[in-house]
A and B are shown apart, each in its own frame.
Chain A
Amino acid sequence: MCANKSMNFTGEDNGKPKAGPKRFLLLHFSILLFSVTGIFSKLAANSINGFGLFHINTVIFAGLMLINCAVYALFWQQNLKRFDVNVAYAHRSVYNIWSLLWAVLIFSEKITIGNIIGTIFIIAGILVMQSE
């Protein structure tokens, strides 16, 4: 059972077409889209704090969040057809880099040393998973 579900280094399921560079590009484009969903989530949350749940800004940001997420989901489902769920999800952790970048650039948040060390550990974990 386990052998049937094992992967090669490119991370695709056995018996499925090999995932080439285009597939990996599509995977990471999906991840970038997903990071934009997070931005809209935070903007909606800030709007709730500032103006209330039913303010037009909250509705717009929540709507954009849903639309963006729907587009992302279409791409993501195609990714899951090519990649093992563990591997696809591990790649999605590249989101962390985007997240820290947006936190500083858009939301002017302070990033601590612990945040950076933690993110390095997380990425190291992903690389270890990818090395099998």
Chain B
Amino acid sequence: MNDSLFYILMPVSAFITAASQILLKKSADRQYQHVLFEYLNPYVVISYLCYIGVLALNVFIYTKIDYRFGVVINSLPVVFVMILSKVILKEALTRKRIAGNLLIVAGIICFTLL
């Protein structure tokens, strides 16, 4: 299998991670009658199923790439979270938040290419 596929899978993993965070946040913003339902509701269950899928995907990715690329795998979701939290949660998208995310993207490019 072409090793470049494993690098392409990193943003895929990051996007699924970001989406699962949005689901968790939607769950956390709700009021529940019992603490158990904070953990056992559709948002949380689907989110953690995504998480398990991401864990398996990351193990698959790590079979071909160095552990240090975990930096990319775990920084890229921040960018996806910003986009998804704006679109889905209607959270504020400030200039500083955009600038911060641009720096993160620049950092990921430096990390990967240099």
8 Å CB interface, A70-118 against B: 73-74, 76-77, 80-81, 84-86, 89-90, 92-93, 95-96, 99-100, 102-103, 106-107, 109, 111-115, 117-118
* Dominant secondary structure at the B interface: helix
CB neighbors of B among A26-58 (8 A): 34, 37-39, 41-42, 44-46, 48-49
* Given A95-B71, A121-B106: 9 more A-B contacts, CB < 8 Å: A77-B27, A85-B91, A86-B78, A93-B104, A99-B71, A102-B67, A121-B104, A123-B107, A126-B100
List the 10 closest pairs (A to B, CB-CB), nearest first. A114-B114, A118-B111, A121-B107, A125-B103, A129-B100, A45-B62, A122-B107, A118-B110, A125-B104, A128-B100
Max chain B CB contacts within 10 Å: which of A3, A81, A99, A125? Answer: A125
**Closest Cβ of chain A: how far from B57's Cβ, in Å?**
10
In the complex, which residues of chain A have a beta carbon less than 8 angstroms from the beta carbon of B27?
A: 77
Given A118-B109, A122-B71: A69 in contact with B51 (beta carbons within 8 A): yes
Query: Are A129 and B96 in contact, CB atoms less than 8 angstroms apart?
Result: yes
Using a CB–CB cutoff of 8 Å, the interface residues on chain A facing chain B are: 1-3, 5-7, 34, 37-39, 41-42, 44-46, 48-49, 62, 65-66, 69, 73-74, 76-77, 80-81, 84-86, 89-90, 92-93, 95-96, 99-100, 102-103, 106-107, 109, 111-115, 117-132
Contact A84 B91 (CB under 8 A): yes
Least distance between A88 CB and chain B CB atoms (Å): 8
Contact, CB under 8 Å: A42 / B112: no
Contact with A along B68-103 (1 / 0, CB 8 A): 101100110110011001000111111011011111
A85 touches B100 (CB 8 A): no
The secondary structure that dominates the A interface is: helix
- Chosen A-B contacts, 7 in total, with CB atoms closer than 8 Å, are A1-B90, A89-B81, A117-B114, A121-B107, A125-B100, A125-B106, A129-B96
Count of B interface residues, CB-CB < 8 Å: 55
What's the Cα separation between A44 and B67 when bound, in Å?
A: 12
